[in-house]
Amino acid sequence: MNMVNDIRSREVKVLKKYSYLSSLNGFFWMCSTPLVTLSSFVTYVMVNDMNVLDPSTAFVSLALFNQMRYTMVMIPDTISNAIQTSVSLSRLRDFLLCSEIDLNAVGTKPRSGQAITLQNATLSWSEGSKPVLEDINFKVDSGRLFAIVGPVGSGKSSLLSSLLGDLRIVRGSIDMTGSVGYVPQQAWIQNKTIRDNIIFTGHYDEKYYQKVLKACSLEDDLRVLPAGDMTEIGEKGINLSGGQKQRVSLARAAYQKKDLYILDDPLSAVDAHVASHIFRELIGPRGMLRTTTRVLVTNNLSVLPECDYIYVLNEGRIAESGSYTQLRKQGSVLSKLLKDFVHRKSSAGDKSEELGTEGEGLRRRRRSSSMADRDKNISCPSSTFTHKEVIEEGTINMRVYLNYMKYAGPCLIAVLLCYILYRALDILSGVWLSEWVTDAPLPDGTQDIYMRNYRIVVFALIALFQAIAYLVGNALLWKVSIGASSKLHTLMLKAIMRAPLSFFDVTPSGRLLNRFGKDVDQLDIPLPVTTNFFLDLLFNALGMVALVSVNLTFYVFIAIPVFLLFVLLRQIYVKTLRQVKRLESVTRSPVYIHLAESATGLSSIRGYRVQDHFTDLCDSKVDVTQNCTLHGLLCNYWMQMRLEVLGDTLILSMLLFLVLSRDTVDPGTAGLLVSYSLSTVVAFNYLIYFSTEMEATIIAAERIEEYSAVVPEASWVREPRPKPGWPESGSVTFSEYYTKYRDDLDFVLKGVDLSINPAEKIGVVGRTGAGKSSLSLSLFRV
């Protein structure tokens, strides 16, 4: 947790620097309109012989300057987006330019009658690194079973990886022909049902499917599952034991009906009796795969007599090769491995175990194993293991806004005051300009120099204080926004760190990445940017409506209905956009999940040569989330068209009222009203847009709060606390102990009574899924 907080602290420092630059950038661009206005008017009156600024000149110019204002305001955000785009493109370019594996490194023309041929191959994991395999001469005849054995770290798995093209060929050559089925040492399980994991990219064949289940000893396991093979098994097969995951991986390979099978120690995770059954029924000379080519890496040396040929690796080289009988006679590396193997088996009390043991005793033991697996398997009423991501509906709960404002702190009030002051000064500058152009001239038609300079100085001071108010308000807004997002991030992190393990069982890692990644990012940058525009436009629109209404009382009767139409349109628009944004957030998680899952199983995906299939799956998931983005843009276009019509109606009504009131409204006021009415329409359009965008962005806070409210595990320290000297001795006692992984599952340990005395060494044994790991985890309250 401290590591995450340290990384977040560094990120916040960068965000603060970004906020300072953003505030200064916005300050300079925001000052541009008042400065251009001031410099234009000052220059005009200075070069004008009469020193007079007339209404027609002033307000036509002001109207044009105000039309430019919102374009100028957008420039800082556009520059920021352009810089971020440039950085993102640079990162993508660096990634795309990374060295890739040579897809043509493994040839397709081995020697006649052979499925695999390696000639004088020296291989390494990356360019310039030390070779892990040297001078390998390795050939595999088609339709036969070849075994690869050797000490730990001798290069067995690396040799198989080279067949998949994962290693770089320093010299020599590799050739391989036929379709490939690959079983990695660590089983790769997708977050799907057991059937989907086995069928993989193939088509369902009931008869052959059942045959595969029997050969892989999965039939009894499926009987105890609530939905059989249609039971979802969670991310990375979290709900299966290691042996069950390995058997599912074997079943997947067998079901694909490949020509060549590359098996990386597939029997290591299952007990001896299940291993015997799988070898006999699937891998061995009488198994389902007997007509295919099989390359088997194994540490279970008891199967070697059944293999056609054996390669022994030692320190990255082939130490010896030949049939089992030939190698036994040589009495070298293999003999030493066999002695170590027999010694381990003897120590484990398995001297009498031999490959091929059959009979009722084995069947009984397999049944007991399957029943023991029930403790680890899914026992919930439905087949679904991973919970669906919640999609909220309707308006955002006011609690979300209140909590966000609470995390923002009291500085939020200062932010509001700064924006109010900024807009009040903006209106004051317009009023001051109106007074300026209506000043009575001197008898000779010129304007008093003193009064002119006075008007210019006050106008400049108003513009200066206006810019300062914006700078302070924007800087404070960034400060409170980053503070609020940091507090929400911390709350979510604490909640996730204290969440029970059952939460992670049913929550894919992609969802957590989405919340800690994209959702937090939405609060870090887009929300303060959107809020800045919203507050600016809100007080601008309110001020303009008030100004026009004071000078044209009858205008209120037109403004109110039009304003209500604005609100009605916004309600229709925001309902749709809000839900589209929620869908966009939710549909982003499957993309992360798929990418993480694909990265984990990259060797298997390459081994089965289904890269195009997984690429298409990724594209389809990206299309779904981009479809939501597209509909959000279409909603925006729908809204903009209607806002333009309403805005034009508002301007037309105001102009009609000015014509009707031409006898009571002076030219200066009329010019001011026209100028600000034009900018007010633009402000209303942007106000509706940014208010909905702000509400859509605050959905990120809603999603973060959802994970911040995860029910925590039991408290770390329970009352009454033990004595200060505890534990005085290393004794452990279980008394009628029951436990389960989740509330909706069956008990995995039932009525355990166990006492362990101090200084005792206790061994816990049992068949696959009997509860050994559960007993250990219970000591840590996991």
Band the pLDDT of 340: cuts 50, 70, 90: low
Q: Of the given ranges (2-11, 30-39, 354-363, 467-476), which has the lowest mean pLDDT?
A: 354-363
Tell me the per-residue pLDDT of 283-302, one tens digit each, with 9 for 90 and over. Answer: 989 999 999 999 999 888 88
Distance CA 197, CA 220 (A): 18
Band the pLDDT of 444: cuts 50, 70, 90: low
pLDDT at 80: 78
Buried b (16+ CB within 10 A) or exposed e, 726-761: eeeeeeeebeeeebbbeeebeebbeeeeeeeeeeee
Q: Of the given ranges (490-494, 530-534, 588-592, 711-715), which has the lowest mean pLDDT?
A: 711-715
Q: Is it the case that residue 310 has pLDDT exceeding 80?
A: yes
Buried b (16+ CB within 10 A) or exposed e, 304-337: bebbebbbbbbebebbebeebeebeeeeebbeeb
pLDDT at 417: 94
pLDDT at 42: 77
Band the pLDDT of 376: cuts 50, 70, 90: very low
Tell me the per-residue pLDDT of 668-701, one tens digit each, with 9 for 90 and over. Answer: 667 666 766 676 677 777 888 888 888 888 888 9
Tell me the per-residue pLDDT of 51-99, one tens digit each, with 9 for 90 and over. Answer: 666 666 776 676 677 667 667 767 777 887 888 899 999 999 999 998 8
Band the pLDDT of 216: cuts 50, 70, 90: very high
Q: Is it the case that residue 279 has pLDDT exceeding 80?
A: yes
pLDDT at 361: 39
pLDDT at 214: 92
What whole-number percentage of the chain has pLDDT above 90?
Answer: 18
Q: Is it the case that residue 420 has pLDDT exceeding 80?
A: yes
Left (φ > 0), alpha (ψ -120 to 50) or beta: where does 393 sit? Answer: beta
**Average pLDDT for residues 573-600, to the nearest whole number?**
87
Q: Is it the case that residue 178 has pLDDT exceeding 70?
A: yes
Residues β-bridged to residue 318: 313
Distance CA 729, CA 425 (A): 76
Quick check: 376 and 774 in contact, CB under 8 A? Answer: yes
Quick check: 547 and 679 in contact, CB under 8 A? Answer: no
Distance CA 53, CA 57 (A): 7
Two tokens, residue 341: 């193997």
Q: Is it the case that residue 780 has pLDDT exceeding 80?
A: no
Quick check: 65 and 44 in contact, CB under 8 A? Answer: no
Distance CA 237, CA 248 (A): 10
Two tokens, residue 756: 């362990």
Tell me the per-residue pLDDT of 703-738, one tens digit each, with 9 for 90 and over. Answer: 898 888 888 877 766 677 777 777 777 888 888 888
Distance CA 141, CA 148 (A): 14
Tell me the per-residue pLDDT of 252-264, one tens digit each, with 9 for 90 and over. Answer: 999 999 999 999 9
Instruction: State the residue for tokens 């009796």.
Output: 273
- Helix/strand number for the chain, H first, E second: 24, 12
pLDDT at 37: 77
pLDDT at 66: 67
Distance CA 50, CA 441 (A): 9
Tell me the per-residue pLDDT of 621-675, one tens digit each, with 9 for 90 and over. Answer: 999 999 988 998 898 888 888 888 887 877 787 778 778 777 777 666 676 667 6
**Average pLDDT for residues 335-347, to the nearest whole number?**
61
**Average pLDDT for residues 443-468, to the nearest whole number?**
79
**Average pLDDT for residues 300-315, to the nearest whole number?**
87
Quick check: 229 and 193 in contact, CB under 8 A? Answer: yes
Length of the chain in terms of residues written: 782
pLDDT at 439: 65
Cα angle 244, 246, 249; round to 5: 110
Q: What is the DSSP letter of 193?
A: B
Architecture of domain 2-81+389-708: Up-down Bundle (1.20)
| Sign of the dihedral through C-alpha 6, 11, 17, 20 | negative
Residues β-bridged to residue 133: 123
pLDDT at 503: 81
Mean of all residue pLDDT scores within the chain: 81
Quick check: 344 and 268 in contact, CB under 8 A? Answer: no
Closest CA to 773 of 751, 749, 746: 749
pTM of the model: 0.70
pLDDT at 763: 86
Question: What CATH number is given for 106-344 in this structure?
Answer: 3.40.50.300
Q: Is it the case that residue 487 has pLDDT exceeding 90?
A: yes
Q: Is it the case that residue 448 has pLDDT exceeding 60?
A: yes
User: What residues does each domain of the chain span?
Assistant: 2-81+389-708, 106-344
Neighbours of 762 (CB within 10 A): 8
Quick check: 630 and 589 in contact, CB under 8 A? Answer: no
Gyration radius from the chain CA atoms: 37
- Output 552 or 479, whichever has higher pLDDT: 479
Tell me the per-residue pLDDT of 108-145, one tens digit each, with 9 for 90 and over. Answer: 787 778 889 989 889 888 887 888 998 889 899 999 99
Two tokens, residue 110: 């081995």
Left (φ > 0), alpha (ψ -120 to 50) or beta: where does 651 sit? Answer: alpha
Runs of H (alpha helix) within 55-181:
55-96, 156-164
Q: Of the given ranges (219-228, 257-266, 400-409, 484-493), which has the lowest mean pLDDT?
A: 219-228
Q: Is it the case that residue 488 has pLDDT exceeding 50?
A: yes
Neighbours of 646 (CB within 10 A): 17
